[in-house]
Structure 1
Amino acid sequence: MKRTPTVIGIDIGGTKISAALFHHHGDLLHKEVQPLARRKGEEVIALIGTMMQSLMDHAEGWTYKVVAIGACVPGIYDAIKKTVWAPNIPDWNHIPLQDELKKYLDDQSIHIVLESDRSCYILGEVWKGCAKDCADAIFIAVGTGIGAGILSGGRIINGSGGVAGAIGWMALEPPYDEKYDAWGNLEHYASGDGIARGAVELLEKNRTVTSLLDAVPTDQITAHHVFDAYEKQDSVAVEVIEKAIGYWGMALANLVSLFNPRKVIFGGGVFGPADQFLDRILEEAKQWAQPLSIEEIQLETSALGGNAGLIGAGYLALTTLNDQVHDE
């Protein structure tokens, strides 16, 4: 019996793994989600292997054939060394993930291809989101950290070691401070964790200032607390968010000046609540950016939300298929 080719997309996050079966025309056929639940190292690899097998069994029952698997990894994929570094998953320190996942496949002809999460985000938007038909687009992911998926001339820019787009290390405000060592200047103030850090720094610096955030233990303050306090015009929250808006605008300006994209898309857990600031971010960027380039861009928030990485991973798998596989 002739079986229809399908692919699997896998989004490996810091707290959960999402995996889905995609028709080669792009339709999502079946999706599964599993929490990491404190798994680390090989335990996470085993969970991914179990999910791959479950989706392949599902495909078999529908007379589909899985021909490729794409995986979105939460860190850096070095395509030369074939290793993954994912700081949010314990013991994933330059591991040969592609080779390890191959061990879970009975059919070694199935292609497995990996890419960083930020690159998968922009691929997802190009395929199913608001960057369709774009050859030059950037996805700025603002969540726990900050990264940028960069599509230029129809190609993902990864750099020599897969680190391109790690924009959390953008230097936007001198002088240098040792507190930037772990994640960089931009990420320190403008990521989700950075917004929380900024609030704690202000509370500790200005102990005489009364804030709604005083009701939350400092080690439990999150970006959501800060955004809620901002809506009530809390002075500490307003100062933190205003600084983040400035940082987002400067980062946007730098990326636009460097890459001259047609579209820039903000996504991740912070956008969300920061969607309301898009116009202000653009106005800030216009003060810093190359003037012709900034006037050309379309600035939007993600059309795919939390599914951008999963959909991008599915698209990544599809792009590995040659014409013969499509036609079989």
Structure 2
Amino acid sequence: MTKQWIAGVDLGGTTTKIAFITLDGEIIEKWEIPTDNTDKGKNITRNIANSITEKLGNLGQKKDQLLGVGMGAPGPVDYKTGVILNAVNLGWHDNFPLKDYLEAATALPAIIENDANCAALGEMWKGAGNGAKELVCVTLGTGVGGGVITNGKIVQGMNGAAGEIGHITVIPSGGAQCNCGKTGCLETVASATGIVRLAKEVLAKPTMAGELAEKYTANGYISAKDVFDCARNQDVLANHVLDEVAFYLGLALANIANTLNPEKIVLGGGVSKAGNILLKAVREQFERFAFSAVRASTKLTLATLGNDAGVIGAAWLIKEKIES
């Protein structure tokens, strides 16, 4: 028998990523399935279990090849019980016992954690964290998520809601409405949707011209990628948006670092694909607001695992349980 694997699952509102991963963090096989959130989400865990069983069969393996299933799920999760506290996008009621349902469907031990926390664990284990035990991971995507690791462990908080970096208030008054119900959250200015909103606000002003304005006029829409692409070409409007995003993100990260003094802050998610143009601008603002000792010891870096971070971190949950 080959060395046993772990099933890592990254549950999303649209698609679910699944992978078989060794105890050394090597991905054996990875794939995606649609997330069926109809009928109050009752098919989600069953579909995952069926897909795992089918993939094992395709690889000529049986269920005992797997040591367990680790899953990252969106929203606050009670790590001890595996209850997901709020999962509106998945069709589940509040306080949904996800661990129990997943174990029943797969007949395997399961551990559930917040998806951003799993991404942080993945980067710590096999990515940009490179084994750092004091780490903050910020995922910049449609929203802004975060995971805080101290002494090699995820900070859970009282009810699993620690690390909600996207909901740090960076605009105390007059900020845009956030999906969480508050206004002025970091998510409203540093997510992909927030960046587009900022760009549209600038473009709505009269006599605005340049590459970004031309793209918007020609296509009828712009993306966060468009903003960064135009900023690389020294477009004035795009650079204005970049500076605003970097200001708020650098301020928030400095305040986090002043509190936690991590070894590394890792920026991941789709927005981070902008690369060095974003990292450089954020680092300048971070150094402006960070305490001197923190400025000298905390390194800002880009994530390296991409879409694999979540499944790798989810597998790490099982690995840690086995080895503890």
Compute the TM-score of the two structures, normalised by the length of structure 2.
Answer: 0.87
- Please show how residues 282-321 of structure 1 align to structure 2 within 5 Å: 282-321=283-322
**Aligned pairs for 1:4-23 within 5 A:** 4-23=3-22
Q: Which moved more, 1:145-154 or 1:27-36?
A: 27-36
Which has the higher mean CA deviation after the structures are superposed, 66-75 or 27-36? Answer: 27-36
Is the contact between residue 13 and residue 35 of structure 2 (CA under 8 Å) also seen in structure 1?
yes
The 5 Å alignment of 1:207-226 reads: 207-210=206-209, 211-212=213-214, 213-217=216-220, 220-226=221-227
Deviates most, 259-268 or 14-23: 14-23
How many residues get paired? 316
CA separation of 1:57 and 1:182: change in aligned 2, threshold 3 A? farther
> 1:1-328 counterparts in 2 under 5 A?
4-36=3-35, 41-57=41-57, 61=61, 65-79=65-79, 82-84=82-84, 85-91=86-92, 93-105=94-106, 107=107, 110-177=108-175, 179-180=177-178, 181=181, 184-204=184-204, 206-210=205-209, 211-212=213-214, 213-217=216-220, 220-322=221-323
Could you say if the C-alpha distance between residues 309 and 288 of structure 1 is closer, same or farther in structure 2, counting changes exceeding 3 Å? same
Contact 1:246 1:281 (C-alpha < 8 Å) held by counterparts: yes
Deviation at 1:112, TM superposition (A): 0.2
Q: Percent identity?
A: 29
Gap runs ≥5 in structure 1: 324-328
SS in 2 for 1:75: coil
CA distance in 2 between counterparts of 1:24 and 1:216 reads 47
SS of 1:179's equivalent?
coil
User: Matched residue of 1:11: which SS?
Assistant: strand
Displacement of 1:52: 2.7
Q: For each residue in 1:251-284, what CA deviation from the matched residue of structure 2 results, as whole angstroms up to 9, or x when unmatched?
A: 2201110111111111110010143232332221
Q: 1:164 to 1:103 in 2, by over 3 A?
A: same
CA contact (8 A) 2:169 2:183 kept: no
Task: Determine if contact 1:190/1:248 at 8 Å carries over to the other structure.
Answer: yes
SS in 2 for 1:61: coil
- Check whether the contact 2:243–2:281 (CA below 8 A) recurs between aligned residues: no
Shift in alpha-carbon separation, 1:90–1:243, aligned structure 2, 3 A: farther
Distance 1:158 1:254, change over 3 A: same
TM-score normalized by structure 1? 0.86
Rounded Cα–Cα distance in structure 1 between residues aligned with 2:259 and 2:316 = 26
- Deviation readout 1:55-112 (Å, 9 max, x if unpaired): 444576279621211001122212356322235434464422112212213x4xx310
Distance in 2, Cα, partners of 1:54 & 1:306: 22
Mapped contact 1:169–1:183 kept (Cα < 8 A): no
Asked whether the 8 Å contact 1:143–1:192 carries over to 2, the reply is yes
Say whether the 8 Å CA contact 2:242–2:278 is kept in structure 1. no
Q: Which amino acid in structure 1 is aligned with residue 254 of structure 2?
A: A
